[in-house]
Amino acid sequence: MKALLQLALIAITLCPSALSFADRQTSDDERHIDDPRVQHRSYEFPGTGESIPYALFVPSNYDSSQPAPLIVSLHGLGRSHDWLMGYHGLLDQAEANGYIVVTPLGYIRRGWYGSRKTDDMQDAERSEQDVMNVLQLIRDEFSVDSDRIYLWGHSMGGAGTYHIAAKYPDLFAGLGVAAPAPEANAPMNNILNNIKHLPIFVLQGDEDTAVPVERTRAWVAKMQELGMQHVYVEIPGGDHSLLISQDAVNMQKFVDFFNIVRKQY
């Protein structure tokens, strides 16, 4: 019973945790979205031979002769690889606007996409690499518009968005973060200087008890100082999760933003 309570506490906190190989196999491969529009796939992770899941949405009007825009979506702490496919309005907006959407796992559910240390540093490194592996798989299989690849994430996924975009700043056309959860001591100046050419949409609730609104405001203030193209929407009374996961209007704001930004460098 004590062990079960400890696992439950881990699932609702923002602290990274170490997972054993067995944990990765038993919990990280689970799926939660039962939508016929979503493809559940997997691939063999190079160097380990592990089968890593990811989820994919392809719009019904996809035509390989016409490169399609791509949205890479990064989930929050403890969530399944397909979790963001269930966010209200995401797939409807992707269908209406012709976006391919892919949701990587990040190797494990709590890998932080390389944005912070984990107890096993290999997990952090593989979490980042999984995103890049899946992105390359999609680009190899589909006709993707290289000037319209977008990266966004919620909570832990927002931290991952900052980290991956800063490491691969010439890959993306635009970014989005919802209630982003970078570490309090994350190298904000270095990260934002690396991505200052990238348009970014930021969504934050002012009653978020997981990510202090003051932290997001500080990042946005730095974006302003750097002259970054950015849109900041602060939701009065907004929480950490429901403001995006169950709000199709706020979800549409991200897609509307991606609709108007292109790679310009």
Residues 176-187: tens digit of each pLDDT: 999 999 999 999
Query: What's the domain count of the chain?
Result: 1
Provide mean pLDDT across the span 17-33: 62
Tokens describing residue 163: 């980290």
With a CB cutoff of 8 Å and minimum separation 6, the contacts of 264 are 197
Provide mean pLDDT across the span 199-228: 98
pLDDT on residue 264: 79
Closest by Cα among 175, 156, 178, 157 to 165? 175
**Number of other residues whose CB lies within 10 A of the CB of residue 241:** 17
Residue 9 lies in a domain: no
Residue 212 lies in a domain: yes
Alpha-carbon span 20 to 243, nearest angstrom: 33
pLDDT on residue 265: 66
Domain with residue 254: its CATH number is 3.40.50.1820
pLDDT on residue 9: 34
Tokens describing residue 29: 């491969």
Q: How far is CA 8 from the centre of its chain?
A: 23
Residue 179 lies in a domain: yes
pLDDT on residue 20: 37
Judged against a pLDDT cut of 60, whether residue 200 lies above it is answered with yes
Residue 251 lies in a domain: yes
Judged against a pLDDT cut of 90, whether residue 121 lies above it is answered with no
Residue 1 lies in a domain: no
Judged against a pLDDT cut of 60, whether residue 18 lies above it is answered with no
Boundaries of domain holding 199: 38-260
**176 or 123, which is more confident:** 176
Provide mean pLDDT across the span 105-134: 91
Evaluate whether 69 touches 145 at the Cβ level (below 8 Å).
Answer: yes
Residue 33 lies in a domain: no
pLDDT on residue 24: 60
Mean model confidence pLDDT for the chain: 91
Q: 52 - beta bridge partners? A: 43
pLDDT on residue 7: 37
pLDDT on residue 27: 78
Alpha-carbon span 234 to 177, nearest angstrom: 12
Q: What is the 3-state secondary structure (H, E, C) of the chain?
A: CHHHHHHHHHHCCCCCCCCCHHHHHHHCCCCCCCCCCEEEEEEECCCCCCEEEEEEECCCCCCCCCCEEEEEEECCCCCCCCHHHHCCCHHHHHHHHCCEEEEECCCCCCCHHHCCCCCCHHHHHHHHHHHHHHHHHHHHHCCEEEEEEEEEEECHHHHHHHHHHHHCCCCCCEEEEECCCCCCCCCHHHHHHHCCCCCEEEEEECCCCCCCHHHHHHHHHHHHHHCCCEEEEEECCCCCCHHHHCCHHHHHHHHHHHHHCCCCC
pLDDT on residue 72: 99
Rg (Cα) of the chain, in Å, rounded?
A: 17
Judged against a pLDDT cut of 80, whether residue 6 lies above it is answered with no
Residue 6 lies in a domain: no
Residue 4 lies in a domain: no
Q: Which residue has the tokens 């934002």?
A: 192
